[in-house]
């Protein structure tokens, strides 16, 4: 099963098995991981599942749709070029080994 490593703002890292078809946000919620809030439950409505993706892994991710791009402008921690909403990162085989950094705050 593909794996994703979540790095908290304090630098603690947690690696989880994430089934194909499950989003990076959903896996975090299922494991009760702090640092991702996902207030809207994954509808791309709230921008509280914000993560930063390592630059060299950006190309492995599903393409960003307009809705996500827009909501990223409303994140609590300022957007960076490598910002994504983790509810939109649905696991594919090529995403195995993904590392995401969680922002200082989601709300």
Whole-number minimum distance, CB 32 to other proteins, in Å? 4
19 binds other proteins (CB under 8 A): no
Among 1, 20, 30, 58, binds other proteins (CB under 8 A): 30
Strands 3-7 and 13-17: antiparallel
Q: How far is CA 3 from CA 10, 32, 91, in A?
A: 21, 16, 9
> By rule CB under 8 A, what count of residues binds other proteins?
24
Distance, CA of 1 to CA of 20 (rounded, Å): 8
Among 7, 18, 26, 100, binds other proteins (CB under 8 A): 26
């Amino acid at each position: 099963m593909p794996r994703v490593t979540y790095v908290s703002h304090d630098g603690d890292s947690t690696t989880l098995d994430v089934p194909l078809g499950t989003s990076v946000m959903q896996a975090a919620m299922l494991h009760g991981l702090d640092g991702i809030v996902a207030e809207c439950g994954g509808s791309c409505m709230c921008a509280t599942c914000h993560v930063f993706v390592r630059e060299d892994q950006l190309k492995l991710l599903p393409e960003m749709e307009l809705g996500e791009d827009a909501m990223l402008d409303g994140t609590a921690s300022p957007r960076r070029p490598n910002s994504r909403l983790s509810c939109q990162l649905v696991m594919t085989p090529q995403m195995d080994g993904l590392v995401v950094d969680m922002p200082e705050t989601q709300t």
